[in-house]
Amino acid sequence: MATALADIPDHVPSELVRDVDIFNVNAIDPDIHIGWKKLQDASPSLIYTPRNGGHWIPMRAHVIERVFQDADVFINGGEWVPPNPKDMLPLIPIMSDGALHRAYRSFLMPYVVGKPLLAAIERARGLAIDLIEGFRADGACDFAVDFAQHLPIEVFLSLVDLPSEDRPYLASLAEVVRMPDEAERMVAFQKMYEYVAGYVDKRTKNPGNDLISTIANGSVLGRPMTREEIVGECTQVLIGGLDTVASMMGFIAAHLAVNVPLRRRLVAEPRLIERRVDEIIRRFGVAGPSRQAVADIEIDGITVKAGDTLFLATALHGLDESRWNNSLEIDLDRSSKGTDFQTFGSGPHRCPGAALARSEIILFMEEWLKRIPDYSLDPEKPMVAASGNVTGVLSLPLKWEV
User: Residue numbers of the site for ligand HEM (CB under 6 A)?
Assistant: 68, 76, 93-94, 105, 112, 236-237, 240-241, 244-245, 248, 286-287, 289, 314, 343-345, 349, 351-353, 356-357
CA distance 248 to 278: 12
Tell me the closest approach of the beta carbon of residue 183 to ligand HEM, in angstroms.
Answer: 26
Tell me the closest approach of the beta carbon of residue 393 to ligand HEM, in angstroms.
Answer: 12
CA distance 181 to 150: 22
Identity of the residue, 50 or 82, whose beta carbon is nearer to ligand HEM in the bound complex: 82
Terminal alpha carbon distance of the chain:
41
Tell me the closest approach of the beta carbon of residue 46 to ligand HEM, in angstroms.
Answer: 18
**What is the four-CA torsion angle of 131, 111, 72, 48, rounded to 10 degrees?**
0
**Half-sphere exposure of residue 283, counting CA atoms within 13 Å on the CB side?**
24
Identity of the residue, 12 or 343, whose beta carbon is nearer to ligand HEM in the bound complex: 343
Identity of the residue, 50 or 289, whose beta carbon is nearer to ligand HEM in the bound complex: 289
Identity of the residue, 12 or 234, whose beta carbon is nearer to ligand HEM in the bound complex: 234
Identity of the residue, 94 or 145, whose beta carbon is nearer to ligand HEM in the bound complex: 94
Query: Could you tell me the strand order of the sheet in which 46-49 lies?
Result: 46-49, 55-58, 309-311, 290-293, 74-75
| C-beta of residue 349 within 8 angstroms of C-beta of residue 111 | no
Tell me the closest approach of the beta carbon of residue 15 to ligand HEM, in angstroms.
Answer: 29
Identity of the residue, 35 or 289, whose beta carbon is nearer to ligand HEM in the bound complex: 289
Residue nearest to ligand HEM (CB): 353
Tell me the closest approach of the beta carbon of residue 138 to ligand HEM, in angstroms.
Answer: 27
Identity of the residue, 193 or 344, whose beta carbon is nearer to ligand HEM in the bound complex: 344
Identity of the residue, 44 or 83, whose beta carbon is nearer to ligand HEM in the bound complex: 83
Identity of the residue, 50 or 342, whose beta carbon is nearer to ligand HEM in the bound complex: 342
| C-beta of residue 369 within 8 angstroms of C-beta of residue 263 | yes
Tell me the closest approach of the beta carbon of residue 92 to ligand HEM, in angstroms.
Answer: 8
